[in-house]
Structure 1
Amino acid sequence: VAVTGNSMGWYLALACAGILDLAGGARLVNNMGGLMHQQGAGGQIVWSIVDDDWQIQENKILFIRNLIAESNIISEIKIYVSIRLGGMIVFAADEAGLKWLMERLPKDDRFPLRLMHHAAFHSPLLNHIVPIARAENQASDFGIGDIPAIDGQGRIWSPSAFSCTAIYDYTLGAQLTDSYDFTRAVQVAAAEFAPDTIIVLGPGTSLGAPTIQALIASGWRGLSGKADFQARQQDAPILISMGMADQRIWAENEMVHTNKR
């Protein structure tokens, strides 16, 4: 009924929604991946903001606000919130900022985690990428779509209800330089389109937890935490991961059954 994606997964979402055809989607992914490798600046760090039951900890939200405010008055570093990713926050920073963050963020057995080979995506540190990206990707590749797509600001792009120029400008503009709110995208998609099941296409199973954490935060279908989600999954799965063989078969069977109806 609708599709969304995280970060560069927005490009795949555009193809799944029919806004780009397969060839156009492949070109965009290849072009932008190459640009990130060749022209990217800075990097990203991930930090968890939830407890063991996937409840967001308000003291960590406050800590992040204060941390960003503190970094803003230090001229030698540049730090931004890159992605709101369910139970995690992804920071974008220059090299000095990355070092500062790794020293300031409280540590556990997993976080903070520096994402290797990642540029400072979704931040002003990639402002220089915008004109290059627009020179390498044509607005004519973008169409009116087949199903709604929800972007990193929680905006719904419904088929035939938007300007192709507008979605091109967002994709090769704010999508590169502004914070990407995957949490909001998931919450809007679930609230507005009321899916029976959420299917996580990939990569692997890495987006399963952030997706459910976003839904727990909004109380979708009364979800109250990780334990509640795991109990519901035993009876009638509400999230299917195509990265898991048994769940992929279930999803494929459901799609065949739906198509027959």
Structure 2
Amino acid sequence: MAGLYLVGTPIGNLQDMTLRAIQTLKEVDLIAAEDTRHTGKLLQHFQVETPLISYHHHNRHERLGELLSRLQGGTAIALVTDAGMPGISDPGYELVQACAAAGIQVTPIPGVSACVTAVSVAGIEGDRFCFEGFLPLKGKERQERLEQLQNEPRLLVFYEAPHRLRQTLEDLQTVLGEERRVTLGRELTKRFEEIWRGTLAGAIAHYQNHDPKGEYTLVIGGCPSPSRQFSEAALKSELQALMEQGHSRSQASRLLAQSTPLSRRDIYQIALTLTD
């Protein structure tokens, strides 16, 4: 039994807890939890009396050595997050990495994932998806991340908090276009679960009249195949026309990137070869 166990927990509905997960949490010596109060309620519901220790983003560096030492001494430890699988949008990967380097057995106990749950119900064509989690909060890093995804052909999956949802939808529309398909899963598996489907423009309009509440998972359609191919000469011609209309090199590159398979950065490099 010694080793690290990554135990998936419900993202809302407690009935989604697996029998294997409950049994594992009862049999290990210690449970490392993102929030001990939150996990304590889960353990109480399933009559699990295993001791708890906190392991989260803010204490992960000082706690890592302690957990690793216990594991090397033969202790069986379960790692849980507040919801879903450990290691996804939380610091769990660092402990897994340390265990792998030390030759400690790591065993996954699968459970529900908001990402996969949302993709399954999205109703958007696409056999592959790209999980992005939470976008950078603001500034250049956020803009660059969105531009990197502009021409991604796979479905895009994001997590978002309610107080940032409107701004995120606006930013996504600016880069991906108002007609890009989107499905928003709100409070998945919970009492007030809601699935909204439409376009980014439609989602912005919807949430102008409805206050975002609860946690959201967004599934966005991938970039459609370009209807035409652009030669460098054609790109230069269109860039020149846009610049003659008064757009800067950067603005012209951004506008042209919305209708080509190239990134704004690639087009901007071509724009730099043009004379003013």
Q: TM-score range by the shorter chain?
A: under 0.3
Larger fraction in helix:
1
TM-score by length of 1: 0.27
TM-score by length of 2: 0.26
Kindly name which structure, 1 or 2, has the bigger radius of gyration based on alpha carbons. 2
